[in-house]
Amino acid sequence: YNRKVRVGRGFTREELQAAGISANYAATVGIAVDHRRRNRSDESLARNVQRLQEYLAKLVVLPRNVKQRTPEVVQAYRSAVQVAGPVVPLAVAPAPEAPRAVTAAEKQAQAFVTLRQAHGILKSQGKTEKRRAERKEAKANSVKK
């Protein structure tokens, strides 16, 4: 459940900057900006930048200045279709793995014991290193005498 990718409340300023959009311009063309969000991974940043670039490629903006409105721009504006629903939907998640038979090694493994041993090793790592250093030092001192 925690792997489900959801559409948020807006794009971060970092994502907008990577896509080459200012926050003020984003607000004028319908892109939500969430200043509270933080990018925690490069993958999600790249994914959202890609979504922004796709959105900008589809976007047709008619210039406010009448002198800048070329016939091509006006024609593109008139032929544009209003999109209903999500403009740039999230990519479809990969399909889950197909069921498979449990191997003999997996049946033999004891997950709880393995995790507890790893926890114990990690917890006593500092004491173990200190003991090793003291033994090494004692051995070096005894050889010198």
pLDDT in tens, 117-133: 999 999 999 999 999 99
Report how far Cα 26 is from the mean position of its chain's Cα atoms: 21
Instruction: Check pLDDT > 70 for residue 145.
Output: no
pLDDT in tens, 79-107: 888 877 777 878 777 788 899 999 999 99
Q: Which residues pair with 11 in a beta bridge?
A: 33
Q: Over range 3-19, report the average pLDDT.
A: 87
Cα end-to-end distance, the chain, whole Å? 64
Q: What ranges make up the beta strands (E) of the chain?
A: none
Q: CB of 12 within 8 A of CB of 37?
A: yes
Predicted local confidence at residue 46, as pLDDT: 94
For the full predicted model, state whether its pTM sits above 0.75.
Answer: no
Instruction: Give residue 127's identity as a one-letter amino acid code.
Output: K
Considering all CA atoms of the chain, what is the largest pairwise distance in Å, rounded to the nearest integer?
A: 96
Q: What is the pLDDT of residue 4?
A: 73
- Is the pLDDT at 9 greater than 70? The verdict is yes
pLDDT at 53: 94
Q: Which amino acid is at 98?
A: A
User: In whole angstroms, what is the distance from residue 138 CA to residue 140 CA?
Assistant: 5
Above 70 in pLDDT, residue 2? no
Contacts of 27 (CB under 8 A, 6+ apart): 33
Q: Residue 15's CB: how many other CB atoms inside 10 A?
A: 25
